[in-house]
Amino acid sequence: MSSGYPQSVPTPTQETTIATDRVVFRLPDIDPAITGVQLWSEVPVARKDFERTEDGWELSIPRTGAHRIEYLFKLALGDDTVTIADPTNPLRIEGVFGENSWLPMPGYREPGWLTAPRIETRSQHWEMSTTDGQLCGALWTPSDARDDTELPLLICHDGTQMARYGRLTDFLAASVASTAITPLRVLLLDPGPHRDARYAANPHYAKALVTQVIPTLAQQVATSGKPVLMGQSLGALAALYAARRYPGSFAGLFLQSGSFFTPELDPQEAGYSHWASVTGFTSTLNRAEPPERIPTTIVCGSEEENITNNRALAAHLAARGGDIEWGEVPDGHTWTTWRDLLDPHLTRLLRRAWT
């Protein structure tokens, strides 16, 4: 699949719009060679195929349950498929694979902390060699904190991407400035090129994280107490797996849209290359008693596939006496979903874990 416009785009005369009960996506006639247009969306929609109009293409669908929609247009051009952002909509959101268009539904507001005052911070590259290979990322700290000043530690899987696309460190800088949370250090820990293998309930990665990364970091800078571990999607699964395999290692867990697949709830994922490892681990969550009562917050987008397994896991752990909090927003499996779930849920988790 290629990306980009098939040719220069004329000034559109018909624009994507939001009506009272419908969303109407429009694409001007930018290339007569286009034989079909389909909507790619991060949230479920009633239909995806556009209809030809006199001056372009149009898709009218009922409003979804989401409070915002991230989307692209997939254009059929002969045997090729070209994916483009909506040329009639100036709203863009950056992601790992490029920019998506997005539409806010009536009533949606971006978090206020995005424009709030922040403390001054510094970030430096971090890496080390472990028994599971090289690990790297960045170490984020308030600018006025010395290396020998003891601060609590937050570790984030997919860390530099969560900082860039999910605005994690911007949120933390604003939260410290407002005294909502205490000053802290953050290890933005990246998985490297073999993310699926490393995060899919991998005992080698969990051992390296707990027995090498955390002790080594504590020798490099002063930290207080046990770290909080967080992750998104497969990174959330890896966080829970490490905590289960090494109880007593973490002060809390913040799990965002975890890939907690089960054969019953997620048969559509059965072709995933690490299906057996993931479902093998999730099956133990229902059989074994939790080894510890650790403050845990599970959050998810209500319009994504993972919502069912996340709700089920949260309910199960709470029924087993776990210290569980739940949160959701009406959105899909996106960095913006995870951004919008930071306040108030991460704030409350850090307070529970470190007080």
Angle at 298 between CA 233 and CA 70, to 5 degrees: 50
Q: Full-prediction pTM beyond 0.75?
A: yes
The pLDDT, as a whole number, for residue 78 is 86
Over range 107-127, report the average pLDDT: 97
The pLDDT, as a whole number, for residue 216 is 97
The pLDDT, as a whole number, for residue 287 is 82
Domains 2-104 and 112-354 share a fold: no
Question: For the chain, what are the domain ranges?
Answer: 2-104, 112-354
pLDDT over 50 at 11, yes or no: no
Which residues neighbour 252 within 8 Å (Cβ) at sequence distance 6 or greater? 228, 229, 294, 295, 296, 297, 349, 350, 352, 353, 354
Nearest Cα neighbor of 12 from 55, 63, 75, 60 is 55
Average pLDDT, the chain: 94
pLDDT over 80 at 75, yes or no: yes
Fold of 2-104: Immunoglobulin-like (2.60.40)
Nearest Cα neighbor of 152 from 173, 120, 180, 183 is 183
pLDDT over 50 at 5, yes or no: no
Question: Which one is the CATH code of 112-354: 3.40.50.970, 3.40.50.1820, 2.40.10.10, 2.60.120.260?
Answer: 3.40.50.1820
The pLDDT, as a whole number, for residue 9 is 45
Q: What is the pLDDT of residues 295-338, one digit of tens each?
A: 999 999 999 999 999 999 999 999 999 999 999 999 999 999 99
Q: What is the pLDDT of residues 142-200, one digit of tens each?
A: 999 999 999 999 999 999 999 999 999 999 999 999 999 999 999 999 999 899 999 99
Q: Which one-letter DSSP state was computed for residue 107?
A: T
Per-residue CA distances from 79 to 1, 34, 334 (Å): 11, 11, 30
Q: How confident is the model at residue 66 (pLDDT cuts 50, 70, 90)?
A: very high
The pLDDT, as a whole number, for residue 27 is 96
Nearest Cα neighbor of 227 from 236, 239, 238, 241 is 239
